[in-house]
Chains A and B, each alone.
Chain A
Amino acid sequence: MSEGGRTSPSEYHAYRRRRTAYAARIAPAIGLFLFILPVLAAGGRDVLTTAGGAVYVFVIWGILIVVSAFLSRRLVGDGDGDDLTGNPRE
């Protein structure tokens, strides 16, 4: 990051990319958590309906797709190479 308060465009770009890469890493974990949530909610009892469960699963699914599309577009960005790297040193 910038040391003196001013941030150059390239630094800002790299910073934004890194943050996006972190988000891309966290996304599947959140997705997994949300997909497993019904198991905790049901707690072994038959309290959920298939219709309600289906709506829940598909809505989460849809949100994940949108988030993923957003993140991957930002990660691909304006580069033109075949390699995608979020931060210089991983």
Chain B
Amino acid sequence: MIDFDLLVLVCLAYVALLFVVAFAVERRAVRGEVRWLRSPLVYTLSLSIYCTAWTFYGAVGYAVRSGLEFVTIYLGPTLVMVGWWWVVRKLVRIGRSQHITSIADLVSSRYGKSNSLAALVTLLAVVGTTPYIALQLQSVAQSFSVFSGSETAVDRAGGAGAFNVTALFVAMGLAVFTVLFGTRRLDANERHHGVVTAVALEAVVKLVALLAVGVFVVWGLSGGPADVMARVQASDIGIWNLHGGRWMTLVFLSAAAFICLPRMFQVMVVENTTERHVAFASWAFPLYLLLMSLFVIPIAVMGQVILPGGNPDLYVLTVPLELGHGNLAMLAFLGGFSSATSMVIVAAIALSTMVSNHVVMPVWLSLRAGRATMSGDVRYVVLLSRRLTIGGILLLGFLYLHFSGGGEALAAIGLISFTGVAQIVPPLLGGIFWRGATRVGAAVGLSLGFAVWSYTMFIPSFGDSFVMTATVLKDGPFGISWLKPHALFGIDGLDPLVHAVFWSISLNAIVFLLGSILSAPEPLERLQAGLFVNVFEYSHNPAGWTSGTAEAEDLLAMSQRILGASEAQELFARIALGQGKAGGLPDTTPEFVETLERELAGSVGAATAHAMVGRIVAGSVASFEDLLAVADETAQIMEYSARMKAQSEELERTAGQLRDANQRLTELSLQKDAFLSQISHELRTPMASIRSSSEILMLEGISEEERKRFSGIIQDETVRLTRLLDDLLDLSVLENGQVSLNLQHADLHDVLQRAVVAANLDGGDGPFRISRDGGAEHVRLYTDSDRLVQVFINLISNFRKYCDSEMPLLEIDVSRDADSVTVDFVDNGSGIEPGSQSVIFEKFSRLTVMGGERGAGLGLAICREIMTRLGGSVSYIHGRGGAAFRVTLPYALE
């Protein structure tokens, strides 16, 4: 038997060694010599905090009770590490690119930095971990009590006080160590080099201790492997009582817990410095686990031979002690001590980070809202809250141990704790592999999983208590049998563990999926989803857009705010079409990103565009909301300036129109002046003739012949005046829209014929000839044919008046299209000079008359008014040799 005082001394010396190692490493880390400290071996060994005292001592007890089933606890993590390329590598990459500080932080970051979700995960972690810490304290206290002679913990009626005191001292010592090395300083990456190295050292100690005991048992107590195999065959656990449901559930559970336990996440992701270490650990850590479990069954079998009535949970310690191998027992004790302390230290650090970041700080900041905060202030509060949390967690663990009484009930807490943290699996895996996962889904699923776990596993684990009485356990609450904690929905006969894991995880996952499908993510959440799910695509290109990284959806969301919704969508659709993707968003190829950047640069400037696209493409996440705000502001400014620009353009247009109008007015005014002098002349000339003729008629003694002649002159001049006044009246009526049309069916040929006859050009008198195409002219029209004849007469008369050819020839061409008919009047004269072409349709505009009667300059103006009323037009056509007019009119006037 070893002296208890010596044991305490060795223990203190060991702790002192850990202090020295941790301190020396911290010193080196401060000096920047970190690289060699963080070897892949240290990383792998630090992962071994998975093997706590529960597994160090408990695996043997587990093997005694259930045979080979204990190995499932190691198979899950083995599969996770062998499958590192799937999950662990991704978690590590995300952890580094997003500066993740804990598993709660990861879940919260993924779902749009939701602090309520982080608080929920933190609560789950604290509830799940506290009993686990109690278990470690119990193990250490138990192992102490073995040496102090008060035998096992189950039989410690006399030594209860000493047991509690030991546990309290251990808790306090661990709190001091954790505070000293876990909260020395605030690191942006939350890395603790000293602690990790100390943990790695402890990993070596526990492996060596267990292997030493195993070798002693196999080669020292029995005759080698073959003998051990024979003994196993002959023992109580010789037949492998394989419970398929439990076997598979435990493999799943241990795999899930390996990823989700806060302390595992701390060493695996947060403390990780490079992915190469994960590659190394992918085989080295399974090897470590294999070695840890290699001798468990031999120790269990030999323990039962040597100490048939002893506590199998302490065989690792009691077997060497019983046989008088004090040093080996001491080593085994240190191994168990290492297992317990390393777990507690890392778990306390991980939990304190979560509690301070997601519970204390938000509360503190909201209490201080509105008051100025100095950076030193925050730092002090963070450190203080972490220190207090570490103390609080260890105190909670101790109190849990004290009040639950420890013992067998506590041994089951390992799996209960695993199941609790495994609830994080659906939102975690869903979050890193499925972009569609939303915060609502995660929160609802996690809450339900937490509730089901509490109801079916955690609360029943207290046994008959005030929270859940034995009656409720047996018959369900209020006698409702389908709510029995161990047989939900009437499904009976399942192993309680399988039952709890099945219901909590499956309900959690189903609700998570449904909630995600039914809810819409916020912009930040969508962005984070892309960054998490496609972490490998964007985190590997430090310069330039060398690979397709950004998500088109996020880029579209931003572009819409800058370019405007329809323009941005049009741009994206165009690029998508260019990529051969009709409909849908384009792939974010480098060309696309560059194109988009150029487009945005046109609106906000190149530097801003690059920064904005870069933020999304390269995944600098924190300020996405700020970016959206910036984009909104920019859009507002641009909208404002666009409005200003539109207004000034409008003004310019109006000014131009005014200038034109002014010029036309001036021209018209000149024309009118000219016309007034013209018309006064026109009126004066016949008036003068009429007056002089009438004066002559009034004279005495004029001959009958003369009287006839002068009356004829008066008659002619009066007719001319009347026609002039008729034209003016006609135009006035047309312009005022007072004309009433007499619509009827007519044939275009007949209309033209009437016009030609009326213009006195039928039958070829004089040199004037008209060329017509009789066949094409037969077009049925529904229009005012009298007015149309008027237009045609006018055009034909103009030909007669103005055509200056030796052999005047007028060609009348009729052509048709779908909804209108066109009649061209083209003569072979010299045409109208370009300067006059624009004014011939104006009122009172008259060209040089070649001879014959002079018009009043109203004919074409009247023609234009008539054609407008008839739904068509009349225009001058250029480049046809002589004067050419085109009349266009619809087949039928509405």
Contacts and interface: CB of A to CB of B under 8 A. Distances in A.
Interface in A22-38: 24-25, 27-29, 31-32, 35-36, 38
B280 interface: yes
A28 B79 contact: yes
Contact of B85 (A25, A48, A65, A66): A25
Among the interface residues A46, A66, A69, which one has the most CB atoms of the partner chain B within 10 A? A69
Contacts of A68: 81-82, 282-283, 286
Interface residues of A, number: 45
13 contacts: A24-B83, A28-B86, A42-B242, A42-B244, A48-B240, A50-B232, A51-B232, A53-B242, A61-B75, A68-B286, A76-B279, A82-B274, A84-B275
Contacts of B233: 49-51
B4 interface: no
A81 B241 CA distance: 48
A90 B93 CA distance: 14
A53 B63 CA distance: 13
Interface of A: 21, 24-25, 27-29, 31-32, 35-36, 38-39, 42, 44, 46, 48-54, 57-58, 61-62, 64-69, 71-73, 75-76, 82-86, 88-90
A44 B245 CA distance: 10
A57 B68 contact: yes
A54 to B, nearest CB: 6
Contacts of A72: 84, 279-280, 282-283
A90 B86 CA distance: 11
Contacts of B276: 76, 82, 84
Interface in B230-263: 232-233, 235, 237-242, 244, 247-248, 251
B864 interface: no
A32 to B, nearest CB: 6
B287 interface: yes
Interface string B49-84: 000000000000000000110010001001111111
Main secondary structure of the interface of A (DSSP, over half): helix
A90 B278 CA distance: 19
A64 B82 CA distance: 7
A59 to B, nearest CB: 11
A48 B242 contact: yes
Given A49-B233, A65-B286, A84-B276, A89 B83 contact: no
Contacts of B169: none
Contact of B241 (A46, A66, A85, A88): A46
Contacts of A38: 240, 242, 247
Interface stretch (B385-393, B532-540, B637-645, B664-672): B532-540
A58 B70 CA distance: 13
B211 interface: no
A73 B282 CA distance: 10
Contacts of A44: 244
A45 B583 CA distance: 58
Contacts of B283: 65-66, 68-69, 72
A82 B279 CA distance: 11
A88 B547 contact: yes
A90 B71 contact: no
B526 interface: no
Given A36-B247, A48-B240, A83 B548 contact: no
Among the interface residues B71, B81, B85, B244, which one has the most CB atoms of the partner chain A within 10 A? B85
B248 A75 contact: no
B229 interface: yes
A60 to B, nearest CB: 9
Contacts of A84: 89, 275-276, 278-279
A62 to B, nearest CB: 7
A50 B239 contact: yes
B247 A39 contact: yes
B297 interface: yes
A46 B273 CA distance: 47
B536 to A, nearest CB: 5
Given A35-B79, A48-B240, A82-B273, 16 more contacts: A25-B85, A39-B242, A39-B247, A46-B242, A49-B238, A50-B67, A50-B237, A52-B240, A53-B240, A68-B286, A69-B283, A69-B284, A72-B279, A76-B276, A83-B275, A84-B279
Given A36-B251, A42-B244, A57 B85 contact: no
B391 to A, nearest CB: 36
A90 B547 CA distance: 11
Nearest to B241: A46
A49 B241 CA distance: 8
B290 interface: yes
A57 to B, nearest CB: 6
A77 B602 CA distance: 45
Nearest to A62: B290
Contacts of B241: 46
A49 B239 contact: yes
Contacts of A21: 85
B86 A83 contact: no
A64 B284 CA distance: 11
Given A68-B286, A76-B276, A89 B537 contact: yes
Contacts of B739: none
Given A42-B244, A50-B238, A61-B286, A35 B75 contact: yes
Contacts of B239: 46, 48-50
A75 B85 contact: yes
